[in-house]
């Protein structure tokens, strides 16, 4: 197999680095805008009350967990479009994306059934009555607006699949620009406009409005004449493409459901240690998002290029792509790791709140230690993002599904429950376990991709009318 040396040592590898960067940098900027939006919402909520800050992560993460099955499925539009493009069938891109939009609509309707179950679930994991009420509000509003989130993912996956990601770079920041002032107005209220303070509900409404704006910007571009070669107005349901999307995308969705679900369970277990512990977790994860979400931009770019080269039958080049991606991902990750390790204090103080809302002496101590532990697993997180997406691009989604189903629950979620509830291990001990878990995951994904067992897979669906 190729790729045994550092890829930038050859002129062709430098070409791949530039090609990857052209696809990745708009996605990184897009991911960064999403990060800023989520970070600022939590920051605003920390200024509103300690309870709304504590409730925002469980409520928001639980709503996303339920969306994961469909989010991961429609996200597979990107590798499908890329492989068809590599195989010389760009005309199939539009039809593939429409099937993704139909899956998004079906998923959004199905998710409404879970809204009444929110309060019972949060109460079941041992949260206080006050937190349950706030978490349930946030959870319900985000699920009401799920279609815009799922639909925007299908459309952005089309653009990443064809390697034209600048529109995604425009759409998401515009959504963020709407979200920031709107969230402030809705969270804190504004008497001259007759707006009452809505707290955590206001943050949720701002998020949904932002997703809606992003969706319509992407849809308008998708339908423009610039993408006529991809037949983007071919909106008719296509049995073969829909079956292909479910075949390869559903395992991706299941993998996302299990891995994010396990992490959500882990966060809920830590939240059961107390409101100070939950606040420390929220602060740490707010900064962790800034380190992690841009890495997803590099990962999606890797999936797009791997898919394109696999579709063209150039497997050796496909193998080298995640190695090239490491140059970008590790550069950014290294900077964030050093920041978290050496300068955690100023990062945490930003969440100090005003007045008597937040008293953070213990929270500050916990979050400082957690950020330093986080700096130890940032590179593992980046490696997972690159190699798991490389496997997705190659069509090896079933392995990722089984890996996530088994390891995320038996390697993280259930052990954390045993550590915290059974052995009485505290927050920092449980967070240290997460560091080791991610390191093992990174090694497994590298070994699977390097094994080449994905070479016999193909996501190409022939057009019966051709």
In a domain, residue 460? The reply is no
Q: What angle, rounded to 10 degrees, do the helices at 275-311 and 11-48 form? A: 150
In a domain, residue 465? The reply is no
Residue 466 pLDDT grade (very low, low, confident, very high; cuts 50, 70, 90): low
Each as own residue / partner, the long-range contacts of residues 318-321 (CB below 8 Å, 24 or more positions apart, any chain) are 318/390, 318/393, 318/394, 319/1, 319/2, 319/3, 319/449, 319/450, 319/452, 320/2, 320/3, 320/7, 320/13, 320/16, 321/16, 321/20, 321/390
Flag whether pLDDT at 4 surpasses 50.
no
In a domain, residue 184? The reply is yes
Residue 280 pLDDT grade (very low, low, confident, very high; cuts 50, 70, 90): confident
Into how many domains does the chain fold? 1
Of the candidates 292, 249, 34, which has an alpha carbon nearest to the alpha carbon of residue 161? Answer: 249
Of the candidates 438, 330, 463, 449, which has an alpha carbon nearest to the alpha carbon of residue 393? Answer: 449
pLDDT for 7 = 41
pLDDT for 362 = 82
pLDDT for 352 = 64
Lookup: tokens for 280: 């420390």
User: Which of the pair, 334 or 361, is modelled with greater confidence?
Assistant: 334
Q: Could you tell me the residue range of the domain that residue 323 belongs to?
A: 7-451
Average pLDDT, the chain: 87
In a domain, residue 457? The reply is no
Of the candidates 5, 1, 83, which has an alpha carbon nearest to the alpha carbon of residue 324? Answer: 5
The stretch 30-50 carries a mean pLDDT of 81
Euclidean distance between CA atoms 387 and 450, whole angstroms: 9
DSSP 453: T
Say how many C-beta atoms besides its own lie within 10 A of residue 316's C-beta.
11
Euclidean distance between CA atoms 194 and 3, whole angstroms: 62
In a domain, residue 461? The reply is no
Residue 275, φ and ψ in degrees, nearest 5: -70, -30
Tens digit of pLDDT for each residue in 409-426? Answer: 999 999 999 999 889 898
pLDDT for 442 = 94
Tens digit of pLDDT for each residue in 184-240? Answer: 999 998 888 888 888 899 999 999 999 999 999 999 999 999 999 999 888 999 999
Residue 246 pLDDT grade (very low, low, confident, very high; cuts 50, 70, 90): very high
Euclidean distance between CA atoms 10 and 138, whole angstroms: 51
Give the range among 56-65, 109-118, 230-239 with minimum mean pLDDT: 56-65
pLDDT for 372 = 95
The stretch 156-185 carries a mean pLDDT of 91
Euclidean distance between CA atoms 51 and 128, whole angstroms: 10
Tens digit of pLDDT for each residue in 328-340? Answer: 999 999 999 999 9
pLDDT for 428 = 92
Tens digit of pLDDT for each residue in 72-112? Answer: 999 999 989 998 998 888 999 999 999 999 999 999 999 99
Helices marked H in 163-238: 166-188, 200-222
Burial class for 416, CB neighbours closer than 10 Å (0-12, 13-18, 19+): buried
The stretch 151-164 carries a mean pLDDT of 93
Tens digit of pLDDT for each residue in 419-455? Answer: 998 898 989 999 999 999 999 999 999 999 999 999 8
Flag whether pLDDT at 317 surpasses 80.
yes
In a domain, residue 350? The reply is yes
Question: Considering the entire predicted model, what is its pTM?
Answer: 0.81
Residue 3 pLDDT grade (very low, low, confident, very high; cuts 50, 70, 90): very low
In a domain, residue 458? The reply is no
Lookup: tokens for 339: 């920041």
Q: What angle, rounded to 10 degrees, do the helices at 146-162 and 275-311 form? A: 40
In a domain, residue 228? The reply is yes
Lookup: tokens for 77: 């539009």
């Amino acid at each position: 197999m190729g790729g045994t040396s550092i890829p930038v040592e050859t002129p062709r590898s430098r070409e791949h680095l530039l090609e990857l960067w052209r696809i990745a940098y708009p996605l990184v900027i897009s991911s960064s805008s999403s990060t800023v939006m989520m970070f600022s919402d939590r920051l605003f909520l920390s200024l509103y009350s300690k309870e709304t800050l504590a409730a925002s992560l469980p409520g928001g993460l639980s709503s996303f967990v339920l969306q994961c099955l469909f989010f991961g499925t429609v996200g597979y539009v990107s590798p499908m479009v890329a492989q068809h493009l590599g195989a010389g069938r760009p005309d199939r891109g539009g039809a593939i994306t429409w099937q993704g939009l139909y899956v998004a609509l079906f998923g959004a309707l199905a998710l409404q059934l879970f809204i009444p179950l929110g309060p019972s679930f949060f109460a079941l994991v041992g949260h206080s009555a006050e937190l349950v009420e706030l978490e349930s509000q946030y959870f319900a509003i985000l699920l009401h607006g799920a279609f815009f989130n799922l639909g925007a993912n299908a459309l952005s996956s089309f653009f990443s699949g064809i390697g034209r990601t600048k529109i995604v770079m425009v759409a998401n920041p515009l959504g963020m620009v709407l979200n920031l002032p709107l969230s402030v107005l809705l969270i804190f209220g504004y008497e001259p406009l007759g707006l009452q303070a809505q707290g955590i509900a206001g943050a949720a409404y701002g998020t949904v409005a932002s997703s809606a704006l992003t969706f319509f910007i992407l849809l308008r571009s998708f339908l423009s004449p610039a993408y006529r070669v991809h037949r983007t107005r071919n909106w008719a349901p296509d049995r073969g493409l829909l079956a292909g999307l479910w075949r390869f995308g559903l395992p991706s969705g299941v993998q996302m459901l299990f891995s994010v679900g396990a992490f959500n369970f882990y966060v809920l277990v830590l939240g059961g240690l107390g409101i100070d512990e939950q606040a420390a977790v929220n602060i740490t994860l707010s900064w962790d998002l800034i380190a992690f979400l841009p890495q997803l931009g590099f990962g999606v770019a890797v999936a797009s290029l791997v898919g394109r080269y696999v579709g063209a039958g150039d497997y050796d080049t496909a193998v080298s792509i995640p190695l090239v991606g490491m140059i970008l991902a590790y550069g950014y990750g290294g900077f964030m790791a050093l920041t978290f390790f050496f300068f955690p204090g100023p990062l945490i103080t930003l969440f100090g709140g005003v007045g008597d809302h937040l008293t953070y002496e213990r929270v500050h101590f916990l979050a400082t230690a957690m950020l330093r532990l986080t700096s130890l697993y940032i590179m593992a997180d980046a490696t997972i993002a690159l190699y798991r997406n490389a496997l997705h691009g190659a069509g090896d989604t079933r392995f990722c599904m089984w890996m996530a189903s088994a390891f995320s629950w038996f390697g993280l979620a259930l052990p954390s429950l045993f550590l915290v509830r059974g052995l009485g291990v505290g927050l920092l001990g449980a967070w240290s376990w997460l560091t080791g878990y991610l390191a093992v995951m990174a090694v497994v994904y590298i070994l699977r991709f390097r094994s080449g067992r994905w070479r016999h897979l193909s996501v190409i669906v022939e057009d019966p009318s051709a």
